[in-house]
A and B are shown apart, each in its own frame.
Chain A
């Protein structure tokens, strides 16, 4: 049935214009004026007429009706009234703006205090079309600062002084503040002379009167006189609000429905707003009475001030400067209603309550598919989907209607298509309803198997926290999901609850299914690694099954094959591995069948990678093999799969688990699509759950009892370590320990002891792995990676190890010792928190306490971190939410500002990348092509390979879709790895290389140069390439590239923000060690990420790393170090002496030239003299210092009356004078590079400088300035510019993430870097930075400082074009410019003449 096309298109709010509510409008929208302060009549408790609860405003009582519209409390929308204030009052929201305007205008003639030329230029600038918020603010500020400096008004020559806030709602004008107006002030004061003479007391107040009080009346008068043009100069838009509207003369009384009264047995409880309004009405009446009766001025002023305060409290009850009454619950003004997490913006507009949702406890069920969720029947009976009746589903829906609300596949409501009448199916004759069901009706039926639902677990940190599942209706009470899907939700089953939402339209269902379904979200967009994969027991089972010694006979094998599928799958049993004496299959063959169950399946997995705990093979065990393949790994930890046949390797975490691109699910997904991968995962889940339940896997006390060898070895090692530590301590006591670079004796000792002790634990762990039985459950779990680590095992079995608190060993809680059980100043391992016992053997009381301290630190750390990262995530999201890719693949924000010209420089989607930030992993693609391509037929010659590739890559298929750079990488790979490989093979067997085609050859030329058959065979075996294989390879390269391109409309900003924020929640430990230097710690983890994205001015560990001109010489490095590091006078002075004589007094400084030489400082006595003079604090003039070069002396003469104290003070501070180096630098450490990088090779010396001052360091002699980098974003921006700052942001975030073992695709980080720098200055992701990035008022209001932004918007008459994500959500629009709402039809707009303005339009 074709639906009728509605004649009116649905209305969409396109923009929002903010303006001020002026007095006229206030009255216009009102029904009446409020004059009465009472709420209810005393007799019958009805609302008082003309009071603030008047029935004409609507009603909140159930049995009453509104007197304006006659509707009841549910249907009446409410009506307004007004209060006419006798005297104007300041509006607290616009108070700042009021002051700012007063500062900029002449307090006499009300014109803006700018000279005519300035005025014109600024006016021009303000009128520039498309002026952005950030620029307008800057202009306003400029005008304000310029105008404030003006003393004499250029138009009326009146004197103007400073305008400032005095008290809560008081503005004063300090007219004669400028020095040059002193005369005027005197003149002004003299005018009071006669008055003072008449009344002596007045003289005391004269000085107070200089400050002119700019009360609301005066201000109003001034504001009214500001011309419209001047308004523009002040940044206002006079059409939408003039400054006089900042001041309230009429107060609008809102309808009662927004401030309901709550009746409580006889008395009623009134809303705070109602209370405040009565207060205002009352005070207003008092003032009116006073004015008419002629009350004293002081009383009037008091009332006025009280009225002002009441009005201010009505708007914002949290006024700074107004003390809140303790014990009383704070009042809620309008501002408080909007503000905060529970406020209107964040609580009701950005996030709304929804229907058709459910929440309950979750539990696991491996028998479900990964894209299914089991919904309890009782939930399914409440959640419904409105299905329209068609000829196809009418029978089913009739049955559903008959079943009604209480029987499961039933229905709750029926809406007739013709009348729109909705019937509830709980009551009435359902059979009749079912019989009369017609096509076109809508049945709200219960959800049934196969329906679509969104499943969510909080905190929703990334897009994978809400995914689309298929419903499976099941008995009992919990939502159930396949354990493989725990990863993205971060769910476990210790009582977690999850939410379920049922989309209500076909469009929503389709969109959910295509974009959010589990199968389409197997990989995280953070870096393209799979997140949905086997976990825990599934991994254990896979591992146990695929070990080399697992064999199954035919019965077992077929039984296991039946485990992993439903009965609808054809399974072809592979040939057995052992044919004789009995037929046996190996465990690995189970996985062959699992990946490719039958001959019809075309899933050919080809992969080669290392497993979870790779153990390197020892070449000496294979003396005959030169360079043995890793396949021969002693613990079978190298996986090779050829055409879905496992050749070697165990199925552990790295192979079936999450987080590895080369896991089999990752490979199947990339090569054969997500549905095949999901199917394989379903099979693994079923297989492992069922097999392991039979096989059995449990952990008992026997598993953690160490054997005699293990126990004795562990004891030996601990004793040895203790002895070593004691030895070090004695050495340190004697001071014989050689200091590590940048460390003192104590730090060196600590570092060395820590090293020894942590090595002990590692070694004990290794022994555990060797000594424990291979059937030991914890050991199995640690090796296959399903749960726990080697350290966890060794802590249970052997030794708990050193307890760390705040990055150090346990500190002293008592005097000079950690606990009174130990001798004072003891540094022995046991007294500093080393636990030598295991959890099995039991901890000593002291050890137990240390362990508890460390444990608590961990708990506190996590608690603090969750709050911190949550906020960080929110800020990132707000800053990046509206960035999307456009049809030209550029990244723009909602206002159209370009952030990147091409997303991530190459326009590729991080979620679709197979290699390490590359679309194709060539090596694997090649092996895959070799395996799936036909190996039979003629092998190509090297030159044929190259020619074929060149020919293919020139075809339009490639040239139109791929970038030239990508095509080059393909060609390079083919030439280097395939053609050259073949050529070298041929050469080694004495054949012709044939890398290039030669004209001399014809079809008869023997290019093998008569090589033997054996030679040909071996070349073929090692390097044969057929055309089919090569074509397969090229097809793969093309396909993967095309698939990896980002789609226009992708919300790259949101995904990027999530990709950076989500791993933040997983970061543990506050600090890390800096590579190479023991003492130089850099902040890492969440604090560091916070510093970077906040664009902090001061960071906790600023480090500049410098390349040296001569990187291989230690002495020259020391010289450079000396140039940078600050040297105090005290460091190089041998003696400070006082000299007292009748005629002179001086401090003599004897410089130890020997030390200077040893330190290789380039320092002369004159330098020192000038350094002293340059130190301002000392106030020493250069003539009072004499230098005696021969005796290396300096004399500082002191004169004056209090010589003694001066000299003493000087002597004290003199030793801290910096005579050499950069004062902002804390220290510099020479570091030896551990590996090659862009700045040098391994073993080179580099200088790490702790502190600020990049510019000074770069220009220091001996340092390569071009290769000097700082980790301080702001400093990089200041010294090197915005591009350098962007690079620093990107590098630093990547470095921080990497050092926590987290990989993030560079594209996300790049986007963040670009967002922080695309405005030309480094903007932090904070409220200040975000306010500069975005123009949308609603977006900013929903972020932070809600009301400030709203008041600003009204005051400046801002306009919000509802283009971004937040605004669209708030207005209820579809998110503009992204995703599925981006495609649109273009048609030239029809020409419509401008409508004539109606004559009396403004009167409406």
Chain B
């Protein structure tokens, strides 16, 4: 798997050679993990909701230092087994390349969270 990511280096400085932990999630709630693409409508409505007061479905971010929220918007159009998915976090791009088998849970048009920790 290969990954490129734009992130705010002032908030989360990394130097060459640093190691960090990263998670991709489609929800921050710890319970059912990621609701898959064919989630139900009621659940779906909740997904785009964010609450300025900090309530709502949360939890996962507590374990990380840096959290971004965005959307998977593109897959490459080639027909090989190695697939690239693109996600955008308000203009900050993420591209993830790997075998299609590992990208089953990345669904076009779905929201996605990137969580980073040193």
Contact = CB atoms under 8 A, between A and B. Distances in A.
Nearest to A548: B91
B104 A1013 contact: yes
Interface string A990-1026: 0000000000000000000000111101101110100
B104 A1014 contact: yes
A1018 B109 contact: no
B82 A1015 contact: no
B55 to A, nearest CB: 13
A628 interface: yes
Contacts of A581: 11-12, 65-66
Given A576-B69, A578-B66, A578-B67, A586 B92 contact: yes
A1223 B17 CA distance: 77
B21 to A, nearest CB: 14
A551 B9 CA distance: 12
B109 A935 contact: yes
A577 interface: yes
A1018 B81 CA distance: 9
A579 B70 CA distance: 11
B104 A626 contact: no
Interface residues of A, number: 54
Contact of B91 (A573, A587, A627, A1024): A587
B29 interface: no
A893 to B, nearest CB: 51
B61 A625 contact: no
Interface in A583-609: 584-589
B11 A582 contact: yes
Nearest to A1012: B101
Contacts, number: 150
Interface in A1016-1048: 1017-1018, 1020-1022, 1024
A624 interface: yes
B8 A578 contact: yes
B79 A586 contact: no
Contact of A629 (B12, B48, B74, B80): B74
Given A548-B6, A629-B76, A647-B91, A624 B97 contact: yes
Given A575-B50, A642-B73, A1014 B92 contact: no
Contacts of B90: 576-577, 585-586, 588-589, 646
A1014 B101 CA distance: 5
Given A579-B69, A1021-B108, A988 B79 contact: yes
Contact of A648 (B4, B85, B93): B93
Contacts of A1024: 108
A586 B91 contact: yes
A585 B65 CA distance: 17
A721 interface: no
A953 interface: no
A631 B75 contact: no
A626 B74 contact: no
A583 B115 CA distance: 14
Nearest to A577: B90
Contact of B78 (A586, A626, A1015): A626
Given A624-B97, A631-B74, A642-B73, A576 B50 contact: yes
Contacts of B50: 575-576
A629 B64 CA distance: 30
A1241 interface: no
Contacts of B106: 1021
B67 A640 contact: no
B77 to A, nearest CB: 7
B80 A580 contact: no
B43 interface: no
A577 B11 contact: no
A546 interface: yes
A647 B101 contact: no
Given A628-B84, A1014-B100, A1022 B70 contact: no
B57 to A, nearest CB: 12
A1141 B52 CA distance: 118
Given A578-B68, A1013-B104, A1021 B91 contact: no
B92 A647 contact: no
Given A588-B90, A648-B93, A577 B69 contact: yes
Given A577-B70, A580-B65, A1017-B104, A625 B8 contact: no
Nearest to A1017: B104
A275 interface: no
A995 to B, nearest CB: 15
B62 to A, nearest CB: 9
A577 B92 CA distance: 9
B77 A1022 contact: yes
Interface string A518-558: 00000000000000000000000000001010010010000
A936 interface: yes
A444 B115 CA distance: 69
A139 interface: no
B107 interface: yes
A1074 interface: no
Contacts of A554: 52
Instruction: Indicate the member of A577, A1013, A1021 with the most B CB atoms within 10 Å.
Output: A1021
A548 B85 CA distance: 20
B103 interface: yes
A645 interface: yes
Given A576-B50, A647-B71, A627 B76 contact: yes
Interface in B1-47: 2, 4, 6, 8, 11-12, 37-38
A642 B71 contact: yes
Nearest to A647: B88
A547 B2 CA distance: 25
A356 interface: no
Contacts of B75: 1018, 1021-1022
Contacts of B95: 622, 625, 628-629, 632
A881 to B, nearest CB: 50
Contact of B48 (A546, A575, A585, A622): A575
Given A575-B69, A1017-B104, A631 B93 contact: yes
Given A629-B74, A646-B91, A1021 B107 contact: yes
A588 B86 CA distance: 17
A1258 to B, nearest CB: 47
B85 A647 contact: no
B102 to A, nearest CB: 8
Contacts of A578: 8, 11, 66-69, 89
A1315 B89 CA distance: 55
B4 A622 contact: yes
Q: Most chain-B Cβ atoms within 10 A of its Cβ — which of A577, A589, A632?
A: A577
Contacts of A642: 71, 73, 109
Nearest to A649: B91
A985 interface: yes
A798 B61 CA distance: 51
Contacts of A987: 79
Nearest to B11: A581
A632 B87 CA distance: 11
B51 to A, nearest CB: 9
Interface in A480-497: none
Contacts of A589: 90-91
A936 to B, nearest CB: 7
A984 interface: yes
Nearest to A1019: B100
Given A584-B8, A629-B74, A579 B91 contact: no
Closest 9 CB pairs of A and B: A577-B90, A624-B2, A586-B90, A575-B50, A988-B79, A647-B88, A588-B91, A1018-B100, A580-B67
20 contacts: A577-B69, A578-B89, A580-B65, A580-B66, A581-B12, A586-B90, A587-B91, A622-B4, A626-B78, A631-B93, A642-B109, A645-B88, A647-B86, A647-B93, A648-B88, A984-B79, A987-B79, A988-B80, A1021-B108, A1022-B77
Given A548-B6, A935-B109, 12 more contacts: A551-B8, A581-B11, A586-B90, A624-B2, A625-B2, A631-B86, A647-B71, A989-B100, A1014-B104, A1021-B83, A1021-B108, A1022-B83
